[in-house]
């Protein structure tokens, strides 16, 4: 393989996705690896009028990028780590996770004084089943409106008055420089983040040239983020869920091999929530957390989701 040619980075076309691709490109450039960005439209970008839960989100934002990896039209694909299905095909692999941005969710509003507590009739926009369920459990009086589309599209709906506030990941809001609209930062214990939130995943075709793969990993991968995300992904995989179930987990590193993982699942209607914390070896702790949840009521919630 000719190493002088540019590494082709596949990405979705939204502003945030392009920011992420450029972020990875800049890291690679520092390691003297030159790149070009290839924009690919995904199913998730096209089906904007359907709620996420009704389409089933497995691979919704990743499938087309994965196809291009298999066709060798691109060398690597850059995704939000939280969009990655918990299990990926054997012919593909994730070779790097970037250092995680703060993982929490934030509330955005054009009204600086907006609070969820003092607005019983307010409408809040979100497309996430996890956020909807948590909102229903803490603020049952609030009306929730579907908010699909990329970050700019959703923000435009806020500007047009479709809702008074919306909940987004801090990472995306910060990367798109919309911080001034944040009226509340949720703690990771109140709104536990979805698996992978805040990090960018780099995926490749498993048979990509070994030396190139090694060089990309060396440049981009952030070790302590990786052990946390592998643990969170093992949790989600064991639970048997994709990003369309209201499950959540957030791991923090303790040593090079051990983590603390806090996570759970909530009923879509918000009336029952099971959370637990596990400390242990990386990856194993995530599996153990999922097993504990399955023994303590998660199975029933998953059965309800699969039948509705």
Catalytic residue among 83, 91, 111, 257: 83
Catalytic site includes residue 105 = no
CA–CA gap between residue 59 and residue 84 (Å, rounded): 7
- DSSP per-residue codes, 104-157: -EEEEESSTT--STT-TT-EEE---HHHHHHHHHH-TT-EEE---S-HHHHHHH
- Tokens linked to 135: 């909102």
By C-alpha distance, which of 96, 134, 71, 55 is closest to 226? 96
At 164 the three-state DSSP class reads: coil
Check residue 5 and report its DSSP letter.
Answer: S
Query: What value does the CA radius of gyration of the chain take, rounded to a whole number of Å?
Result: 19
- For 43-77, b/e burial (b = at least 16 CB within 10 A) is ebbeeeeeebbeeebebbbbebbbebbeeeebbbb
CA–CA gap between residue 108 and residue 138 (Å, rounded): 17
By C-alpha distance, which of 113, 108, 186 is closest to 147? 108
Neighbour tally for 280: CB within 10 Å: 18
CA–CA gap between residue 31 and residue 34 (Å, rounded): 9
Which positions are annotated as active-site residues? 83
């Amino acid at each position: 393989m000719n190493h002088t040619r540019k590494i082709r980075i596949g990405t979705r076309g939204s502003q945030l996705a392009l920011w992420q691709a450029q972020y990875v490109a800049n890291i690679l450039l520092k390691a003297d690896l030159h790149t070009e960005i290839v924009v690919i439209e995904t199913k998730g970008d096209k089906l904007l009028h359907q709620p996420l839960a009704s389409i089933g989100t497995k691979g919704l934002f990743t499938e087309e990028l994965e196809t291009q990896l298999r066709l060798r039209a691109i060398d690597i694909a850059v995704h939000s780590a939280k969009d990655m299905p918990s299990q990926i095909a054997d012919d593909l692999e994730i070779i790097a996770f970037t250092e995680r941005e703060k993982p929490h969710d934030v509330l955005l509003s054009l009204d600086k004084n907006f609070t969820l507590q003092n607005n019983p009739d307010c409408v809040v926009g979100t497309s996430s089943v996890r956020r909807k369920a948590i909102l229903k459990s803490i603020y049952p009086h609030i009306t929730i409106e579907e908010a699909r589309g990329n970050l700019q599209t959703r923000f435009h709906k806020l500007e047009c008055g479709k809702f008074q506030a919306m909940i987004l990941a801090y990472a995306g809001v910060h990367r798109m420089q919309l911080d001034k609209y944040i009226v509340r930062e949720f703690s990771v214990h109140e709104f536990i983040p979805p698996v992978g939130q805040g990090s960018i995943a780099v995926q490749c075709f498993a048979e990509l040239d070994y030396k190139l793969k090694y060089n990309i990993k060396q440049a981009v991968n952030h070790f302590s983020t990786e052990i946390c995300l592998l643990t969170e992904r093992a949790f989600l995989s064991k639970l048997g869920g994709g990003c369309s179930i209201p499950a959540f987990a957030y791991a923090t590193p303790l040593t090079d091999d051990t983590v603390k993982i806090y996570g759970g699942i909530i009923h879509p209607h918000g009336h029952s929530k099971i959370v637990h914390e596990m400390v242990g070896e990386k990856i194993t702790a995530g599996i153990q957390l999922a097993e504990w949840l399955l023994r303590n009521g998660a199975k029933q919630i998953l059965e309800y989701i699969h039948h509705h």
